[in-house]
Structure 1
Amino acid sequence: MPKNIPLINREISWLSFNDRVLQEAADKTVPLIERIRFLAIFSSNLDEFYRVRVATLNRLSSLNTKAKELLGFNPRKTLNEIKNIVVQQEHRFNYLYRDVILKELEQQKIFILNEQQLNVSRGLYVKNYFREKVLSTLVPVMIDKNEPFPELKDRAIYFFVRLVQHKNLEKSRLALIEIPTDGSNRFLVLPESNKLKFITLIDDIIRYCLDEIFFIFKYDQIESYSIQLTRDAELNLDKHVSDKFIEALTKSLNKRSKGRPMRLLYDKDMPLDMVNYLVDKLDLNTDGLIPGNRYHNFKDFISFPNVGDENLEYLPMPSLPVQGLSIMSSIFAQIAKRDYLINLPYQSFDYIIHFLREAAIDPKVKEISITLYRLAENSRVIHALINAAKNGKKVYCFLELKARFDEQANIYWTNRLEEEGVIVNYGILDYKVHSKICLVKRHERGKDIYYSNLATGNFNEKTAKLYGDHSLFTANPEINSELVKLFEGLRTQTFYKGYKHLIVSPLESRQKLNSLINHEIKNAKVGKNAYIILKMNSLTDEDVIAKLYEANNAGVSIKLIIRGMCCIVPGVVGFSERIEVISIIDRFLEHARVWIFANSGEEKVYLTSADIMARNLDHRVEVGFPILDQEVKLEILKIIDIQLKDNSKAREINKLNNNRYRKTKSKVSVRAQTDIYHYLKYKK
Structure 2
Amino acid sequence: MNKNKNQYINREISWLSFNERVLQETADVNVPLIERMRFLGIFSNNLDEFFKVRYATVKRIVDAGKTGKSVLGGEKAKDILEEITTIVIKQQSKSLEILGAIEKELETENIFIIDENEVTDTQAVFLKSYFMQKVSPGLLTIILNDLREFPLLKDTAAYLAVKMVLINEVDGNENKENKYALIEIPKDIDRFVVLPNEGDKNYIILLDDLIRYSLRHIFTMFTFESISAHMIKITRDAELDMDNDLSKSFIEKISSSVEHRKISDPVRFVYDKNIADDTLSFLMDKMGIEETDSKIPGGKYHNRRDYMKFPSLGRKDLMYSKIDPLPVKDFSFEGSILEQIAQKDYLQYTPYHSFSYITKFLREAALDPQVRTIKLTVYRLASNSQVASSLINAAKNGKQVTVQIELQARFDEQANIEYAEQMQAEGVKLIFGVPGLKVHSKICVIEREENDKIKRYGFISTGNFNESTAKIYTDYTLFTAYSPLLKELNKVFDFFETTYKINKYKHLVVSPHYTKNVFIGLIDQEIKNAREGKDAFIKIKMNSFTSYKMVDKLYEASNAGVKIQLIVRGICCLVPGVKGMSENIEAISVVDKFLEHTRVFIFGNNGNSKVYISSADWMTRNLDFRVEVGCPIYDEDIKQELVDTFEISWNDNVKARMFSEQQDNAYRKNDKPKLRSQFAVYEYYQKKLNA
The TM-score by the shorter chain falls in which range?
over 0.9
Q: How many residues in Structure 1 have an aligned counterpart in Structure 2? A: 680
Which residue, 242, 245, 255 being the options, matches 1:250? 255
Deviations 1:583-626 (A, max 9, x none): 00000000000000000101000000001000000000000000
Contact 1:645-1:664 at 8 Å conserved across structures: no
Q: In structure 1, what is the Cα distance between the partners aligned to 2:222 and 2:369?
A: 72
Contact 2:67-2:77 at 8 Å conserved across structures: no
Structure 1 residue 496, shift from structure 2 partner: 2.4
Contact 2:167-2:176 at 8 Å conserved across structures: no
Identify if the C-alpha distance between structure 1 residues 67 and 671 changes in structure 2 by more than 3 Å, giving closer, same or farther: closer
Contact 2:161-2:182 at 8 Å conserved across structures: yes
Contact 1:241-1:428 at 8 Å conserved across structures: no
Relative to the length of structure 2, the TM-score reads: 0.96
Instruction: Name the residue aligned to 1:259.
Output: 264
Contact 2:68-2:75 at 8 Å conserved across structures: no
Secondary structure at the counterpart of residue 539 of structure 2: strand
Deviations 1:400-456 (A, max 9, x none): 000010000000000000000000111111100000000010110110000011000
Instruction: Name the residue aligned to 1:117.
Output: 118
Contact 1:524-1:556 at 8 Å conserved across structures: yes
1:63-462 alignment, distance < 5 Å: 63-64=64-65, 68=69, 72-98=74-100, 100-144=101-145, 147-165=148-166, 170-182=176-188, 185-238=190-243, 244-286=249-291, 287-462=293-468
Identity %: 48
Instruction: Name the residue aligned to 1:548.
Output: 554
CA RMSD, 1 decimal: 1.6
Structure 1 residue 62, shift from structure 2 partner: 3.0
Q: In structure 1, what is the Cα distance between the partners aligned to 2:625 and 2:176?
A: 57
Secondary structure at the counterpart of residue 208 of structure 2: helix
Structure 1 unaligned spans of 5+: none
1:584 and 2:585 are equivalent in the alignment: no
Q: In structure 1, what is the Cα distance between the partners aligned to 2:558 and 2:246?
A: 43
Instruction: Name the residue aligned to 2:20.
Output: 19
Structure 1 residue 245, shift from structure 2 partner: 1.8
Contact 2:475-2:597 at 8 Å conserved across structures: yes
Counterpart code for 1:12: I
Q: In structure 1, what is the Cα distance between the partners aligned to 2:671 and 2:554?
A: 26
Contact 1:25-1:38 at 8 Å conserved across structures: yes
Q: In structure 2, what is the Cα distance between the partners aligned to 1:389 and 1:461?
A: 21
Structure 2 unaligned spans of 5+: 169-173
Identify if the C-alpha distance between structure 1 residues 135 and 70 changes in structure 2 by more than 3 Å, giving closer, same or farther: closer
Secondary structure at the counterpart of residue 115 of structure 1: coil
1:481-630 alignment, distance < 5 Å: 481-630=487-636
Contact 1:238-1:245 at 8 Å conserved across structures: no
Contact 1:540-1:565 at 8 Å conserved across structures: yes
Instruction: Name the residue aligned to 2:683.
Output: 678
Identify if the C-alpha distance between structure 1 residues 275 and 453 changes in structure 2 by more than 3 Å, giving closer, same or farther: same
Q: In structure 2, what is the Cα distance between the partners aligned to 1:592 and 1:488?
A: 26
Q: In structure 2, what is the Cα distance between the partners aligned to 1:306 and 1:285?
A: 41
Contact 1:497-1:507 at 8 Å conserved across structures: no
Q: In structure 1, what is the Cα distance between the partners aligned to 2:310 and 2:65?
A: 47
Q: In structure 2, what is the Cα distance between the partners aligned to 1:561 and 1:66?
A: 32
Structure 1 residue 301, shift from structure 2 partner: 1.3
Structure 1 residue 63, shift from structure 2 partner: 4.2
Counterpart code for 2:427: G
Identify if the C-alpha distance between structure 1 residues 164 and 422 changes in structure 2 by more than 3 Å, giving closer, same or farther: same
Deviations 1:491-531 (A, max 9, x none): 22245242011000000011111101001001000000100
Contact 2:395-2:401 at 8 Å conserved across structures: yes
Q: In structure 2, what is the Cα distance between the partners aligned to 1:307 and 1:280?
A: 43
Counterpart code for 2:124: G
Deviations 1:255-284 (A, max 9, x none): 111111111111111112222222222232
Secondary structure at the counterpart of residue 476 of structure 2: strand
Q: In structure 2, what is the Cα distance between the partners aligned to 1:241 and 1:554?
A: 53
Q: In structure 2, what is the Cα distance between the partners aligned to 1:200 and 1:67?
A: 46
Counterpart code for 2:399: K
Name whichever of 549-558 and 194-203 sits farther off. 194-203
Secondary structure at the counterpart of residue 185 of structure 1: coil
1:474 and 2:480 are equivalent in the alignment: yes
Contact 1:647-1:663 at 8 Å conserved across structures: yes
Deviations 1:186-239 (A, max 9, x none): 122111112111111211111111111110011011110011111111111136
1:638-677 alignment, distance < 5 Å: 638-666=644-672, 668-677=673-682
Name whichever of 642-651 and 140-149 sits farther off. 140-149
